[in-house]
Amino acid sequence: MPESIGNSNRISREYIDSLRIETRYMDAVSPSTAFTLYGETFASPIMTAALSHLDRFMFPGAADALARGAKEANAVLWYGMAEEDEIGRLAAHGARMIEIIKPYADRGVIRRKIEHAEKLGLLAVGIDIDHAFGPEGGPDFVNGIEMKALTTAELKEFCAGTRLPLIVKGVLSAWDAERCLAAGAGGLVLSHHNNRIEYAVPPLALLPEIADMAGDVPLFVDCEIRTGMDAFKALALGAKGVCIGRPLMTAIRENTETGAGDYLKKAAAELAKAMAFTGSADLNHIDASVIHRV
């Protein structure tokens, strides 16, 4: 059986592409993509994904290029696993930043990283729950460091113990969403983390159900979000914002200085087009009924 059959990235891409958009021109206006998150306003709800180890996997300075691009585009910068000095260096570029922390088996590491994020004045902090297990079903090890699944009680303790909104990344079921919301999560990222499990449900397929549960708690989506049109579909189905990952890595390779910012601004313009063509005056007036699945 070809490896692509169960690839969750391919499944997510096909689902996004199966969603069609109807147009609504009468009484439409030029839209605003202005995006407010945790009391601060940004150019659009299109943000960077929580990428990790860019300087090692790409080239020295790649992470800084991502941070500069987010600042240039007035977009939220998400970032993943990194040492404290790297987080501080990226935050110093001026983009408002969200750090996503791995589910370290040593919970003291999580607490210290949350405290560091608070000291830096980051926009929010989060925990990546879907890196708890490795390919054989045992504990995952990242850079030789053991991970461990969180309990609802532990998550509740982390949420209560920080003044920052605490986002849970890796939610891909109503089961996890219900428990994370009950624990006090300040946001959820619907994600299968780049095919960590094969045959995963596309995040957009679960959005309406989880949005009904979440109330005012913001939902975010990654996995195969590549364009402003993809972002529009996610927003229509209940997302507050979206995160773009691998396309930004390509943009940085092609143009280290302005690639990330240019890509984010282009995606925001594509979102504005979709909003204009559907009578969506602003992000609060995107009607889910414009989306049809074929």
Q: If we measure between CA atoms, which residue out of 290, 257, 292 comes closest to residue 274?
A: 290
How many domains does the structure of the chain reveal? Answer: 1
Domain residue limits at 142: 3-13+42-268
Residue tagged 């370290």 (tokens): 104
CATH of the domain at 197: 3.20.20.70
- Bridge partners (DSSP) of residue 127 are 101, 168
Answer yes or no: is 277 within a domain: no
Q: Mind listing the pLDDT tens digit of every residue in the chain (294 residues)? A: 456 789 999 999 999 999 999 999 999 999 999 999 999 999 999 999 999 999 999 999 999 999 999 999 999 999 999 999 999 999 999 999 999 999 999 999 999 999 999 999 999 999 999 999 999 999 999 999 999 999 999 999 999 999 999 999 999 999 999 999 999 999 999 999 999 999 999 999 999 999 999 999 999 999 999 999 999 999 999 999 999 999 999 999 999 999 999 999 999 999 999 999 999 999 999 999 999 999
Answer yes or no: is 292 within a domain: no
What span, in angstroms and rounded, lies between the C-alpha atoms of 174 and 166? 18
Distances (CA, A) of 14 to 98, 99, 143, 198, 218: 29, 29, 32, 14, 25
Answer yes or no: is 35 within a domain: no
Answer yes or no: is 24 within a domain: no
What span, in angstroms and rounded, lies between the C-alpha atoms of 110 and 292? 41
Answer yes or no: is 239 within a domain: yes
| Predicted model pTM | 0.96
Instruction: List residues with catalytic annotation.
Output: 193
